[in-house]
Amino acid sequence: MISITKKERFLQTYANLPLASRDEIIVVVDGEPMTWKAAKIEVEAETSIGMKILDKLEGMKLLK
């Protein structure tokens, strides 16, 4: 069985979002609200904020 990373699951989820939904706030990290678009930038750059976003989204069961 191939293990899919949190980043890959995030990107799959993001790709399946309606375009209008990408501007919606999905999580707050360190007091800053993050939209799907902002989260994608952080996740793709593999920043510490991006890692926090992935952990929070996984905890919220938003990653498929």
| 10-57 pLDDT per residue, tens | 999 999 999 999 999 999 999 999 999 999 999 999 999 999 999 999
Q: In this predicted structure, what is the pLDDT of residue 1?
A: 56
Note whether residue 28 is domain-resident. Answer: yes
Note whether residue 38 is domain-resident. Answer: yes
Q: DSSP of the chain, one letter per residue?
A: -PPPPHHHHHHHHHHTS-GGGGGSEEEEETTEEEEHHHHHHHHHHT-HHHHHHHHHHHHTT---
Count how many domains the chain has: 1
**Domain extent at residue 40:** 23-64
Note whether residue 14 is domain-resident. Answer: no
Note whether residue 58 is domain-resident. Answer: yes
User: Helices 6-15 and 48-59 sit at what angle, rounded to 10 degrees?
Assistant: 70
Distance of alpha carbon 11 from alpha carbon 9, whole angstroms? 5
Note whether residue 27 is domain-resident. Answer: yes
